[in-house]
Structure 1
Amino acid sequence: MEFRLAIPTDTEEVSSLWAYCFEPKEDPFFQYYFENCYEPENTMVGIEEGQLLSTVHLRQYDLNVRGTTIPTSYMIGVATHPAARRGGIGGALLLSSLEELKQRDQGITILMPSKAAFYQQYGWELYAHQWVQTLPLDELRPMTDRSLHFGLLNSVEQWTLLAPVYDEYTTGLSGYAVRGETEWKRLLGSFFAEGVNVAVARNEVGDIEAYCVYRLGAPEIMVSELVYISRRGQKSMLNYLYNHRSQGESIRWNEGLHDVGYRFHPNGKTGHTTMPYMMSRIVDVQTAVESIPVDADAAMMEITFTLAVRDELCAWNEGIYEITLGGASAALDIADVQNKDDLMRLLGVNGGTPKVKKISDSSEGTSDVYIEVGALSLLLMGAVSANELAFEEKIQGGQEWLDYLDLVYPKQNTYINEWW
């Protein structure tokens, strides 16, 4: 099978395969996506005997990881026609996509799995889970607040009202999508095309403290995004949804794992579960490690160590790397300061990024630390500590190196809520 980026004349076959595997063509999201968002130049296709049998859409995003913004591709719509399944095409499609992303100098890619095990065998790991809260609407009352008033949005131009709330909510988190005007308008456009509602909660001076995105029409009201800057804001939004008791029987909403409000639920034994949400994978080890900053204090210690990476899919990642950290402030002279980022590095506020040099194409040699490529992604994103990875047998090294890696890459609260 030949894999290549799509061209405009492939659009009919690409959309037909999407309709076969996902939503039918008459579905509002299908129509919105292929009329407004589909990008042939960011879609990998598999062709055999003139037939398009496999696709993956490479949605372009910026992720905030450990306080820095990195470009990434969000793989969606991974599909293979049943006539071509169980022949290794899925893995070959993913490999071709990773080769393309490497050429684009992207270090990490993400995807939302329908079944994590399929992608884990190819080096992806889950970096973000979500709480899933499900309650009968009648039981929601003790969790509500009536001090704010509500409004509905109905235009993509109102994205500027939501952006400050989202930006404050995600402050200090890792792995989330950076949303600018383009991303917000695309997102709101899809909501309105599908008939999804967007409500906001305002305080006494008119500032928005929370918003939610929800859908009516079924016994369970689905809330696909609930974002707030205060607990009062969240409770006020739940009060707004409580007012829909005549239009639904229960409510389901998702939260980031960093939220601890579940500890104060009046009935914590039911309706509170976790959901595997987003996976990440290293595209290119050197690009990924050199793109993501380390802890500022750890960066002040000048240390070089070797890291052996095992990657059974991407041969270019397999090998031993020399990682050099340290002297963040020494790496930049005051005369080199051109902007705020330069100044932050000079002062050691931002730990800077390591220098990486590949010294072997085999991971079998002597090294200070041995790690699987999927585990490296979790460590960089901040989802799992080095010592936790060692317990899971995903990393090997002396205790002093594991402890050092936990100083360099301390755990983070990870979060993302992009659906496509």
Structure 2
Amino acid sequence: MIIRRLEKKDMEAAKSLWRYAFESQEPFCSWYFENVVAPENLLGIFMEDDLAASLQLNPYRLWLNGNSFDTSYVVGVITAPAYRHRGLTKELMAAAIGEMNRKNHGVSILMPFDTSFYSTYGWELCYSQLRYEIPMDMLKNFGATQGNFTPVHGKDDVNALQGIYESYLKDYQGYVQRTPKDWAILIQDLHHDGGYGYILMDETGTPAGYILYFLKDGTLNIRELAYCSHWAKKSLIHFVYRHKSQTTKAAWPAPVGDLDFLFLRDTIKPTPTNTIRILPFMAGRVVNVKSALENCRYPKDTLLSFTLQISDIYGPWNHGIFSVMIQDGIPCVQETEDMEPDLSCSINVFSRLFFGAISLEQALFMEEALLHNPLLSDDLKRIFQQKNNFINEYF
């Protein structure tokens, strides 16, 4: 058994394995392997010359804790049927954590098929989404006719899309800082699946919002909705309502902190008409505790010193005690062996604290973390606060 990064000559085998497990439709599969996947971002287990298992480590940048983070998005964890139930996933995930550490990717994200499966390896659910499913009639009085809509074509629209995206997410954490290539891939994927995209312009011709969506089986299914103002949101919703002759309902994702459900028309009796659910979406993991903490930027008046003990079976470089000094909002982290910890937890809990999926207060209440120095309680709670995360990437 050999575990290594894939080479160009291995890509056809990786494509065949992907097609068997996930996506057999063309032209998506060929497009995906030609435009999205790079061999240096694939890791595989080989049994002699046979690719037995593989995964992708797609590179992105996340905005988190006041700074940008290089991250690996783990995608397509596959084992060939002839090699399943041999523990290859365990070997592959351990190798992937090591590979990400060598790439200096301090954090990682992963979309789990089961929220508990990857917790063995340190990934924990850190992102959820609201999912709206609303009958068209309920949108009639929510929107308003304002602005002009132009179709999304391609690279010429990237600057407009990026500006709206950044404005929409300015109060959120954990989102991907999309590059022109990321936008190009997103738009191509949308068009490959028969989707549509429109940009909303205000009366001065300034981009104010966008909508990316599909029409299928009587539903207007929104891939992404973003806006710079309340009137832009209302105009986008009215754009959706204009499709009432084609569809019976609309569905869209939103951050968990979204409050539109409070203002949508609904019924109470005999049953509620609208469906608004919280769906699990993305797991996160801290790959390297030291580099992740040192990349954070806290308020400039932050002055704090504490020791942190982490247990991490799959990341031995994290397993131990760290001395953390935050001065002028910038952390400095050193490994130490001769100090008692002020705070201790597993890498799983630390990942949730770091991403802000839970606060330190919640972790202590659930007995997921131990605070050995109560005098630091208030200061540490300011560092490890719950955040409003949002992410909407699928590969």
Query: What is the alpha-carbon distance in structure 2 between the residues aligned to residue 28 and residue 142 of structure 1?
Result: 40
Q: Using the TM superposition, give the Cα deviation of residue 401 of structure 1 relative to its aligned residue in structure 2, in angstroms.
A: 3.0
Q: How does 1:128-139 map to 2 (within 5 A)?
A: 128-139=127-138
CA distance in 2, matches of 1:400, 1:372: 22
Q: Work out the CA distance in 2 between the residues paired with 1:227 and 1:288.
A: 29
- Of 200-209 and 259-268, deviating more is 259-268
2:4 partner SS: strand
2:21 equivalent in structure 1: 21
2:142 aligned partner, one-letter code: M
Match of residue 175 from structure 1: 174
The residue that corresponds to 2:348 in the other structure is: 374
- Secondary structure (helix, strand or coil) at the match of 2:126 reads strand
Distance 1:163 1:111 in 2: 23
What secondary structure is seen at the aligned counterpart in 1 of 2:171?
Answer: coil
What TM-score results when the alignment is normalised by the length of structure 1?
Answer: 0.88
The aligned residue for residue 90 of structure 1 is 89
Aligned residue in 2 for 1:224: 223
State the alpha-carbon separation in 2 of the partners of residues 67 and 218 from structure 1: 42
Q: Does 1:5 find its partner at 2:43?
A: no
Question: How many angstroms apart in 2 are the aligned matches of 1:238 and 1:400?
Answer: 50
SS at match of 1:121: helix
Partners in 1 of 2:81 and 2:240 — Cα distance?
41
- Alpha-carbon distance between aligned partners in 2 of 1:384 and 1:296, rounded to the nearest angstrom: 23
User: For 2:16, what is the secondary structure of its paired residue?
Assistant: helix
Q: What letter is aligned with 2:391? A: I
Corresponding residue of 2:193: 194
Contact 2:116 2:124 in 1 (8 A): no
Quote the residue 1:294 is aligned against: 298
SS in 1 for 2:211: strand
Shift of 1:225: 0.5
* Identical-pair percentage: 30
Q: Which residue identity lines up with residue 357 of structure 1 in the other structure?
A: Q
- Pairwise mapping of residues 18-417 of structure 1 onto structure 2 (< 5 A)? 18-24=18-24, 26-267=25-266, 269=272, 270-297=274-301, 299=302, 301=303, 303-326=304-327, 328=328, 351-352=329-330, 354-360=331-337, 366-397=340-371, 398-417=373-392
Asked if the contact 2:321–2:336 (Cα under 8 Å) also holds between the matched residues in 1, the reply is yes
The answer as to whether partners of 1:175 and 1:414 remain within 8 angstroms in 2 is: yes
**Residue pair 2:139, 2:241 contacting (<8 A) in 1 also:** yes
Distance 1:140 1:27, change over 3 A: farther
Verify the 8 A CA contact 1:67 1:172 in the aligned structure 2: no
| Residue range with higher mean Cα deviation, 397-406 or 124-133 | 397-406
Q: Return the alpha-carbon distance in structure 1 between the equivalents of residues 131 and 374 of structure 2.
A: 36
The two structures have a TM-score, normalised by structure 2, of 0.93
The question of whether the paired residues in 2 share the 8 Å contact of 1:63 and 1:69 is answered with yes
Q: Which runs of 5+ in 2 are unaligned?
A: none
Equivalenced residues, count: 389
Cα distance in 2 for residues equivalent to 1:246 and 1:53: 50
For 1:387 and 1:409, the matched residues in 2 are separated by 9
Partner Cα separation in structure 1 for residue 60 and residue 382 of structure 2? 28
Per-residue CA shift, 1:280-329, capped at 9, x if unaligned? 101111111111223333x2x2x432111011222221111111122x2x
Output one character per residue of 1:189-224: Cα deviation in whole Å (capped at 9) or x when no partner: 222232211112222112222111101132222111
Q: Deviations over 1:98-128 (max 9, x none)?
A: 1011111111011111111111121111111
What stretches of structure 1 move > 4 A for 4+ residues in a row? none
Distance 1:295 1:373, change over 3 A: farther
Aligned-pair distance for 1:27? 3.1
| CA contact 1:156–1:189 (8 Å) conserved in 2 | no
Three-state SS of the structure 1 residue aligned to 2:189 is: helix
Tell me how far apart the structure 1 counterparts of residues 111 and 321 of structure 2 sit (CA, whole Å): 30
Tell me: CA distance 1:399–1:220, structure 2 relative to 1, closer, same or farther (3 Å).
farther
